[in-house]
């Protein structure tokens, strides 16, 4: 078609029209453009033709965007897709990086967070001051109760000072021989020493909880409880929610409100105050005939029993014996809702103090 | 160079008279099956256009444009078929049948294009009466009332079918209008109408002006054809960005950006050339601030100087050209 473009000649209307309508091949378009750059006459013609075309033909209204338009190839759409992919990759990279530099979760034996706390049953308040734990004989054949709530606890990083801010803390300990693993909730006190992550176990005597009269704490509605487990080396009671959850259910099918144990002998009162006793760590339970007025609100070991347990533990440690399942007799005491205290040695027969 | 032409470019025949067709051997070979398909799609039978007449036209078009390929390339059968299928077959058959003087074709042509032709002419001339005159003039020309060498000629024979027939008619109308305008009006050079302004700055020396003129001419000559087209349409023809963008099918903002880059690039090139000719940077900057009226330059001629290199290999003359 090169004979169409000669120096000093103009493009014919067919060529100009093809240029205006954009149907020329690329090489012809370049040549036509070069000619138009030099020829004002042909430029005038193409602009006039274009003007007439626009005057006679209505401006096409762009159709509404359909879903097909989203998938139609377009250089700008490809650019947008590439930008979106780059942004996504950047976000994922940042998230992975943040995940990498985040502090590792605390060891399972340190602290754990429990929420929601509203599901915890209300329990009586107890004293906060830890009591120096007397040496008690170790219970050789004590059965370790697995902490059922541990799996459900959300692990969290240990706070710098876990006893600040009124958080409820609990001491934690690992299983030891002849030890019963229970969990204890305790409201943190500003004056209490902060446990270090390296030594997460606070040897607070569980018997002191019994003496204090309560081992669980009412939790604030919006509070968070940091739980830790502690080894009960005394073989006495440490009543916690988790310990309750580890026991077999009571025949009344009601939740355990309070419990006390001495060796394999366990007393438990349900939420309506009915007392049950078990001589074999909760199986089977046997209902205790009610000899008092009102319902039982609290179970504990008598002070004399604590002394006995402490001395028994000392003897056991001295002998380093693990095959002695015997547990010295001890006294239980229960408190009714009227505040009357009853005493029993076997859990079945009670007398008013 | 801007000589206008109203000569038809292909031979036609008066209506109702036999036409001497070119030999069938000149052109691209079209397979018989493809030819049958094209002939059916063009509905050439209803236009009293025989299969052989339509085939000759197709061959001529294919040979003229080398089936859309660059010169020197040999089209493959697939490329031949693609080229022919991309043509406006119905309009090509209609135009060719009209050029051959087929009665049925003219009836159809008048029915389809008579009114649009007048509207286009009015749009081009901006006047109803002038537009009507222009349309009538072209219509008579299309009908083949013009004779050359004893034969009637119709411009419709030059329609190749690559664009729309209506577009071809519009372009032909525009060409006739421009030709008429140039014949009837005397072109007055801009230099005569310019009023010399009082020089506000000291006039550079003659040597500096000479260097500036030479550098400017070299810089403009070095531009690509498309760049020169943009500069010419925008600065010489005073076309709007919208008009330019619609013509070359790029966005208006792209045209604006290209023009901005072009002018900035021209400024840099001029500075370089002036410095290369021995001027200091400061002197070159001052020279670029020269009042254009001090320059003995015709920017229109510089910008529109034909690129000889682009056409050096196109020395062949053709009877289809307008002079």
Instruction: Summarize pLDDT for B145-154 with one digit per residue, the tens.
Output: 666 667 777 8
Q: Show me where the domains of chain B are located.
A: 32-69+76-183, 207-307
Residue A327: name the closest of A135, A144, A134, A140 by CA: A140
Per the CB < 8 Å rule, is A33 touching B248? yes
d(CA A142, CA A322): 9
d(CA B212, CA A331): 118
d(CA B179, CA A255): 107
Q: Is A232 helix (H, G, I), strand (E, B) or coil?
A: strand
B26 against B154, higher pLDDT: B154
pLDDT of residue B208: 73
Q: How many domains does chain A have?
A: 2
Average pLDDT, chain A: 62
Shortest Cα distance, chain A CAs vs residue B230, angstroms: 7
Q: Which residues of B touch A2 (CB under 8 A)?
A: 71, 313-314, 316
- Contact partners, residue B85, CB within 8 Å, separation at least 6: B38
- Encode pLDDT of A258-276 as tens digits: 888 887 788 888 888 888 8
Query: The tokens 């079209």 sit on which residue?
Result: B30
Q: DSSP assignment, residue A276?
A: E
Same domain for A334 and A199: yes
- Encode pLDDT of B181-225 as tens digits: 888 776 544 444 444 555 555 556 677 777 777 788 888 888 888
A105 in any annotated domain: no
Q: Which residues of A touch B160 (CB under 8 A)?
A: 14, 18
pLDDT of residue A234: 40
Number of alpha carbons in the 13 Å side-chain half-sphere of residue B202: 5
pLDDT exceeds 90 at position A169 = no
pLDDT exceeds 50 at position B54 = yes
B274 against B116, higher pLDDT: B116
Tokens representing A333 are: 């005491």
Domain membership of residue A43 as a residue range: 2-56
pLDDT exceeds 60 at position B88 = yes
User: Which pLDDT band holds residue A166 (cuts at 50, 70, 90)?
Assistant: very low
Question: What is the biggest distance separating any 2 CA atoms in chain A, rounded to whole angstroms?
Answer: 132
- Encode pLDDT of B258-301 as tens digits: 999 988 888 888 888 888 877 787 777 777 776 665 655 566 66
CB contact B307 to A (< 8 Å): yes
pLDDT of residue A82: 86
Interface subset of B 229-248, CB within 8 angstroms of A: 229, 232-233, 236-237, 239, 243, 246-248
User: Which pLDDT band holds residue A133 (cuts at 50, 70, 90)?
Assistant: very low
pLDDT exceeds 50 at position B123 = yes
pLDDT exceeds 90 at position B91 = yes
Same domain for A130 and A34: no
If you average pLDDT over residues B36-50, what whole number do you get?
Answer: 90
pLDDT of residue A306: 57
pLDDT exceeds 80 at position A232 = no
- Encode pLDDT of A272-308 as tens digits: 888 888 887 777 888 888 888 888 888 888 766 556 6
pLDDT of residue A91: 92
User: Over the range B51-88, which residues count as b (16 or more CB within 10 Å of their CB) and which as e?
Assistant: eebbbbbbbbbbebbbbbbeeeeebeeebbbebbeebb
Instruction: Count residue pairs from A and B with Cβ separation < 8 A.
Output: 183
Q: DSSP assignment, residue B250?
A: S
Q: Per mean pLDDT, which range of A121-125, B17-21, B55-59, B67-71 is the poorest?
A: B17-21
CA dihedral A320, A325, A328, A333 (to 10 degrees): 120
A14 in any annotated domain: yes
Average pLDDT, chain B: 77
A90 in any annotated domain: no
pLDDT of residue B183: 80
CA dihedral A62, A67, A73, A74 (to 10 degrees): 50
Instruction: Using a cut of 0.95, tell me whether the model's pTM lies above it.
Output: no
Residue A123: name the closest of A15, A241, A276 by CA: A241
Interface subset of B 171-210, CB within 8 angstroms of A: 171-175, 177-178, 182
% of chain B exceeding 90 in pLDDT = 27
A176 against A91, higher pLDDT: A91
Shortest Cα distance, chain A CAs vs residue B143, angstroms: 17
User: Which pLDDT band holds residue A208 (cuts at 50, 70, 90)?
Assistant: very low
Shortest Cα distance, chain B CAs vs residue A60, angstroms: 14
ipTM score over 0.85, yes or no: no
A17 in any annotated domain: yes
User: Which pLDDT band holds residue A230 (cuts at 50, 70, 90)?
Assistant: very low
pLDDT of residue A101: 75
Shortest Cα distance, chain B CAs vs residue A87, angstroms: 28
Q: Per mean pLDDT, which range of A53-57, B73-77, B239-243 is the poorest?
A: A53-57
pLDDT exceeds 50 at position A194 = no
pLDDT of residue B170: 93
A74 in any annotated domain: no
If you average pLDDT over residues B53-73, what whole number do you get?
Answer: 89
- Encode pLDDT of A307-320 as tens digits: 665 666 666 655 55
Q: Is A334 helix (H, G, I), strand (E, B) or coil?
A: strand
Residue B232: name the closest of A12, A52, A33 by CA: A33
Shortest Cα distance, chain B CAs vs residue A34, angstroms: 4
pLDDT of residue B9: 36
pLDDT of residue B221: 81
Mutate to test the interface with A, among B1, B4, B142, B170 (most CBs of A within 10 A): B170
A174 in any annotated domain: yes
Rounded CA Rg of chain B = 25
Same domain for A119 and A23: no
Give B39-94 as a DSSP string.
HHHTTGGGGT--HHHHHHHHHHHHHHHGGGSPTT----HHHHHHHHHTS-HHHHHH
Same domain for A134 and A31: no
Per the CB < 8 Å rule, is A14 touching B160? yes
Last residue of a domain, one of A56, A76, A102: A56
pLDDT exceeds 90 at position B94 = yes
pLDDT of residue B167: 93
């Amino acid at each position: 078609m090169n004979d169409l473009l000669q120096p000093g000649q103009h493009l014919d209307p067919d060529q100009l029209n093809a240029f205006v309508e954009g149907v020329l091949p690329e090489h012809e378009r370049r040549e036509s453009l070069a000619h138009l750059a030099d020829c004002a006459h042909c430029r005038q013609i193409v602009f006039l033709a274009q003007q007439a075309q626009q005057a006679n033909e209505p401006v096409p209204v762009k159709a509404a965007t359909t879903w097909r338009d989203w998938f139609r190839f377009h250089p700008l759409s490809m650019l947008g897709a590439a930008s979106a992919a780059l942004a996504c990759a950047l976000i994922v990279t940042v998230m992975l990086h943040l995940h990498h530099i985040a502090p590792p979760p605390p060891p399972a034996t340190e602290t754990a967070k429990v929420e929601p706390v509203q599901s915890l049953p209300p329990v009586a308040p107890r004293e906060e001051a830890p009591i120096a734990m007397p040496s008690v004989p170790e219970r050789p054949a004590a059965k370790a109760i697995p902490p059922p709530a541990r799996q459900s606890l959300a692990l969290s990083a240990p706070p710098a000072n876990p006893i600040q801010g009124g958080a409820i803390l609990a001491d934690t300990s690992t299983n030891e021989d002849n030890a019963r693993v229970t969990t204890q909730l305790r409201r943190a006190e500003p004056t209490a020493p902060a446990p270090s992550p390296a030594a997460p176990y606070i040897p607070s005597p569980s018997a002191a909880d019994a003496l204090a009269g309560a081992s669980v704490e009412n939790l604030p509605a919006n509070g968070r409880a940091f739980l830790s487990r502690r080894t009960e080396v005394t073989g006495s009671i440490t009543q916690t929610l988790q310990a309750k959850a580890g026991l077999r259910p009571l025949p009344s099918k009601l939740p355990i409100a309070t419990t006390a144990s001495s060796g394999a002998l366990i007393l438990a009162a349900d939420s309506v105050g009915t007392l049950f006793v078990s001589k074999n760590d909760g199986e089977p339970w046997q209902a205790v005939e009610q000899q008092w007025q009102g319902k039982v609100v609290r179970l504990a070991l008598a002070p004399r029993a604590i002394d006995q347990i402490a001395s028994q533990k000392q003897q056991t440690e001295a002998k380093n014996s693990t095959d002695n399942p015997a547990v010295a007799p001890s006294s239980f005491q229960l408190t009714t809702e009227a505040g009357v205290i009853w005493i029993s040695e076997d859990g079945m027969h009670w007398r008013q103090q | 160079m801007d000589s206008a032409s109203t000569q038809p470019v292909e031979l036609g025949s008066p209506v109702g008279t036999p036409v001497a067709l070119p030999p069938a051997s000149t052109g691209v070979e079209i397979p018989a099956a493809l030819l049958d398909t094209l002939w059916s799609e063009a509905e050439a039978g209803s236009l009293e256009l025989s299969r052989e007449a339509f085939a000759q036209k197709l061959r001529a078009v294919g040979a003229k444009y080398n089936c859309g390929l660059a010169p020197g390339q040999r089209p493959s059968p697939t490329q031949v078929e693609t080229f022919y299928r991309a043509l406006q077959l119905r309009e090509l058959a209609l135009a060719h049948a009209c050029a051959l003087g087929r009665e049925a074709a003219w009836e159809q042509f008048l029915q389809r294009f008579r009114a649009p032709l007048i509207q286009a002419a009015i749009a081009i001339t901006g006047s109803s009466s002038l537009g009507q005159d222009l349309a009538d003039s072209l219509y008579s020309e299309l009908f083949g009332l013009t004779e050359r060498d004893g034969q009637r000629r119709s411009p419709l024979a030059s329609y190749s079918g690559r664009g729309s027939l209506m577009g071809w008619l519009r372009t032909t109308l525009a060409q006739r209008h421009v030709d008429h305008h140039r014949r009837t009006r005397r072109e007055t050079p801009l230099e005569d109408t310019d009023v010399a302004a009082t020089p506000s700055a000291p006039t550079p020396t003659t040597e500096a002006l000479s260097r500036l003129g030479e550098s400017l001419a070299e810089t403009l000559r070095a531009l690509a054809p498309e760049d020169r087209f943009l500069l010419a349409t925008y600065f010489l023809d005073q076309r709007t960005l919208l008009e330019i963008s619609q013509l070359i099918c790029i966005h208006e903002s792209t045209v604006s950006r290209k023009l901005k880059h072009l002018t900035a690039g021209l400024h840099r090139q001029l500075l370089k050339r002036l410095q290369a000719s021995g001027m200091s940077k400061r002197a070159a900057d001052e020279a670029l601030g020269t009042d254009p009226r001090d320059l003995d330059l015709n920017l229109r001629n510089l910008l529109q100087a034909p690129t000889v290199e682009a056409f050096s290999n196109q020395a062949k003359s053709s009877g289809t050209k307008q002079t």
